Structure 1
Amino acid sequence: MNKKVLKLAIPNIISNLSVPLLGAVDTALVGHLEEVYYLGAIALGGMIFNFIFWGFGFLRMGTTGITAQAFGEQNKTESVMTLVRALLVAGVFSFMILLLQTWIADISFWLVEATPEVERFTKVYFDIRIFTAPATLGLYAINGWFLGMQNARYPMIVTVVLNTLNIILDVIFVYSLNMNVAGVAWGTLIARYVGLALAIGLLMVKYKSWLKAYVREKILEVEPLKKFFSVNRDIFIRTLCLIFTFSFFTAKSAEFGNVILAANTILLQLWMIVSYGVDGFAFAAESLIGRYKGSGEKDKLKSAVTHCFFWGIGIGFTASLVYALFDESILSIFTNQQNVITTALIFWGWTIAGPAVSSFCYIWDGIFIGATATEPMRNSMIIATVLIFLPVYALGVSYFGNHAIWLALTLFMVARGATLTVYAPKYILR
């Protein structure tokens, strides 16, 4: 089982780590410009697009779980039809995002309080990056299908090529062409469409025989559609809670001023780097749990759960140790502004705790997605957001200031892991 887990997890880790690496490079590029508000604009712009795009993360997660189960059943037609349905949904929502972009921008800037400089450059970023919607949602669907087909190599290739190109373009646009925030947005736009073209090419070459199993009449079959939308509805609600939490975090950070916003942005980036590493094993869990549920191999399913937890939690605790040992050295990579570094060190303890605490819930997420047991995932996230995160911040902010938002985020992760552990015997292990 270790071999199977690592065969899926290692490509996922490589591809996942290229995502925060891109974010880290963007943060470092803009963080070394002369004005702090450029970094704030990237943080708020990223928050807005996280809210827009992460909400459609079900196109990746739901597609993986359903496809993996069809793969376990050796049902070629249902596997291909899952991809078709996901791509159709991606196309419809992409069109709606582009159609409503002005309204989305107005609501976003109304909800977020920021300095005039930050808001002005965030708008520049928004107006360019909004046109990545079709490529972003399309990639969610195709990469999710690849993972469900037990193929972690193709998403790795697509993601690494996309993010490497993005980094190169960002460096050229920001430093060579002095485009600051606009350069980061243009780099993202171009790289996304190159990545989509590559994914389609790999799909057509590798799975040409599978695509022949496509049956047009099955697109609107009631039972598969009911399962597709039921699974994705729960994941959508779960993801909205997650997006809300991180967006709330960034919005409240902005209220503390540009320096704390910049410091919190860097620290949260460090949380995300580890999350993407642990998610390599969470994605492996999605593929394997779905496959073994589809084939009815319960012993292998339980073994996959154990092995994914072993590796995922190991990464989390290792990262916490690294952060404890190399605090200021790590921060200096992201910015050369001493006031931001000094401020970040005040809150560094939360960065040390984060990877170890959050690794549990990340692995459980992958397990529940693979089993398409999405209702408990939804309930867990609602509990963590409404009953833990918001009350902890509201009660603590007047006493602890910025520490309160970090305490709320840490307990939010603890609550997610704890509630899914309670749900697991009923929905997974039995």
Structure 2
Amino acid sequence: MNRKILNLAIPNIISNLSVPLLGAVDTALVGHLDEAYYLGAIAVGSMIFNFIFWGFGFLRMGTTGLTAQAFGEQEKTDSIMTLARALTVAGVFGILIVLLQAWIADFSFWVVEASPEVERYTRIYFEIRIFTAPATLCLYAINGWFLGMQNARYPMIVTIFLNALNIALDVFFVYSMNMNVDGVAMGTLIARYAGLTLAVILLLYKYRDWFKGYVHELLMEVKAMKKFFSVNRDIFIRTLCLIFTFSFFTAKSAEFGNVVLAANSILLQLWMMVSYGIDGFAYAAESLIGRYTGSGQQKRINLAVKYCFIWGTGIGVLASAVYAIFDTQILWLFTDQKDVIDTAMVYFLWTIAGPVVSSFSYIWDGVFIGATATGPMRDSMIVATLIVFLPAYAIGVLYLGNHALWLAMTLFMLARGATLTFFAPKHILKANAV
């Protein structure tokens, strides 16, 4: 079991870590420019696109769970039709996002109260990056399908290629072309479409024969579409709560001023870097739990859950130790602005605690997605957001200021892990499994 987990997790960890590495490079590039508002613009711009794109994370997660179960049942037609439905939805919504960009921009800046300088440069970033929408959503669908097919290597290849190209282009545009946030956005735009092109090439190279199972009449088949949208509806609601929480965090950070916004954005990057590492084992859980659910192997489900938790929480403990030892050195990698570093150090204890606190919720997410037990995931996130996160901030901000944001975020992660643990015996784990 450990070998199966590692065969899926290690490629996912490698590819996942390239994502925050890209974010870290973007942050470092603009963090070493003259003004803090460039860093604020990247933080707010990234928040907007996280809100947009993470909302469609179901195209990756739902596709993985459904495909993995079809793989376990050895249903070739069900598998390829899942991909076809996901790509259809991705294409339609990707185009709609581009067409509605003016409305999305106006709404975003109405929600987020940022300084005039931050808003100005965020708009520049937004107006370029919005055109990545179709490519980004289609990549979600294809990579999710690869993972459901127990193939973690292709998403790794695509993600590393995409992010390495993105980093190279960002450095070129910012340093060689003397651009700022517009250079970062342009690098992202070019890299996304290059990554999608590679993903399609790999798909056709390895899975061309699977397309023989495609039946056009089944694309909009009522029962299959009902299951597709039922699973994805719950994931969508769950993801909206997650996006809201992180967006609320960034918006409230902006209200504390440009320096606090810059400091919080760096610390949040560190939280995200660890999440992508732990998510390697969460993705392994998605693939294996889905496969074993499809083939009805409950004993293997229980075993996979156990070992994914051991590996995932181990990564969390290790990351917390690294942050505790190298706190200041890590911050200097992101920016040389002393006021931002000094401010970040005031709140760094929350970042040290973050990896351990968050690891349980990340692994449980992978387990529940693989089992397509998405209702409990939805309910867990609603509780964590509305009953824990928002009240914790509303009460704490009166006494703790910016510390209240970090306290609320920490309690939010704890609540997610606790509620999913409560739901697990009914939906995932079963005694006397055979």
TM-score (norm 2): 0.99
Letter in 2 for 1:151: N
Deviation at 1:37, TM superposition (A): 0.3
Structure-2 residue corresponding to 1:419: 419
Letter in 1 for 2:128: I
Structure-1 residue corresponding to 2:282: 282
Deviation at 1:406, TM superposition (A): 0.2
Structure-2 residue corresponding to 1:202: 202
Gaps of 5+ in 2: none
Deviation at 1:10, TM superposition (A): 0.2
Bigger shift: residues 214-223 or 65-74: 214-223
2:213 alignment partner, SS class = coil
* Distance in 1, Cα, partners of 2:142 & 2:322: 35
Structure-2 residue corresponding to 1:61: 61
Structure-1 residue corresponding to 2:300: 300
* Distance in 2, Cα, partners of 1:226 & 1:192: 30
Letter in 2 for 1:136: T
* Distance in 1, Cα, partners of 2:175 & 2:356: 36
Bigger shift: residues 72-81 or 90-99: 90-99
1:207 alignment partner, SS class = helix
Residues 127-170 of structure 1 show CA distances to partners (whole Å, capped at 9, x for unaligned) of: 00000000000000000000000000000000000000000000
* Distance in 1, Cα, partners of 2:240 & 2:421: 21
- Is 1:246 the counterpart of 2:237 in the alignment? no
Deviation at 1:327, TM superposition (A): 0.7
Deviation at 1:64, TM superposition (A): 0.1
Letter in 2 for 1:210: W
Residues 335-355 of structure 1 show CA distances to partners (whole Å, capped at 9, x for unaligned) of: 001110100000010000000
Deviation at 1:317, TM superposition (A): 0.7
Structure-2 residue corresponding to 1:291: 291
Q: What aligned pairs does 1:10-409 form with structure 2 within 5 A after superposition?
A: 10-409=10-409
Deviation at 1:280, TM superposition (A): 0.1
1:372 alignment partner, SS class = coil
Identity across matched positions, percent: 76
1:342 alignment partner, SS class = helix
Residues 43-86 of structure 1 show CA distances to partners (whole Å, capped at 9, x for unaligned) of: 00000000000000000000000000000000000000000000
* Distance in 1, Cα, partners of 2:177 & 2:95: 31
2:214 alignment partner, SS class = coil
* Distance in 2, Cα, partners of 1:385 & 1:198: 37
Deviation at 1:221, TM superposition (A): 1.4
2:277 alignment partner, SS class = helix
Flag as ranges the 4+ runs of structure 1 deviating above 2 A: none
* Distance in 1, Cα, partners of 2:15 & 2:185: 21
* Distance in 2, Cα, partners of 1:327 & 1:216: 55
* Distance in 2, Cα, partners of 1:180 & 1:340: 19
* Distance in 2, Cα, partners of 1:128 & 1:302: 46
Deviation at 1:183, TM superposition (A): 0.2
Deviation at 1:319, TM superposition (A): 0.3
* Distance in 2, Cα, partners of 1:39 & 1:175: 16
* Distance in 1, Cα, partners of 2:34 & 2:220: 55
Letter in 1 for 2:250: T
* Distance in 1, Cα, partners of 2:418 & 2:408: 15
* Distance in 1, Cα, partners of 2:215 & 2:274: 41
Letter in 1 for 2:274: V
* Distance in 1, Cα, partners of 2:111 & 2:329: 35
Residues 384-422 of structure 1 show CA distances to partners (whole Å, capped at 9, x for unaligned) of: 000000000000101100000000000000000000000
Residues 294-336 of structure 1 show CA distances to partners (whole Å, capped at 9, x for unaligned) of: 0011111111101100000000011001111111011000000
Deviation at 1:220, TM superposition (A): 1.6
* Distance in 1, Cα, partners of 2:301 & 2:393: 38
* Distance in 2, Cα, partners of 1:291 & 1:351: 35
* Distance in 2, Cα, partners of 1:176 & 1:95: 32
* Distance in 1, Cα, partners of 2:394 & 2:400: 11
Deviation at 1:95, TM superposition (A): 1.4
* Distance in 2, Cα, partners of 1:152 & 1:96: 30
Letter in 1 for 2:417: G
- Is 1:3 the counterpart of 2:3 in the alignment? yes
Letter in 1 for 2:114: A
Deviation at 1:224, TM superposition (A): 1.1
Residues 96-140 of structure 1 show CA distances to partners (whole Å, capped at 9, x for unaligned) of: 111111000000011110100000000000000000000000000
Letter in 2 for 1:41: A
Deviation at 1:223, TM superposition (A): 1.4
RMSD: 0.4
Gaps of 5+ in 1: none
1:223 alignment partner, SS class = helix
* Distance in 2, Cα, partners of 1:315 & 1:68: 25
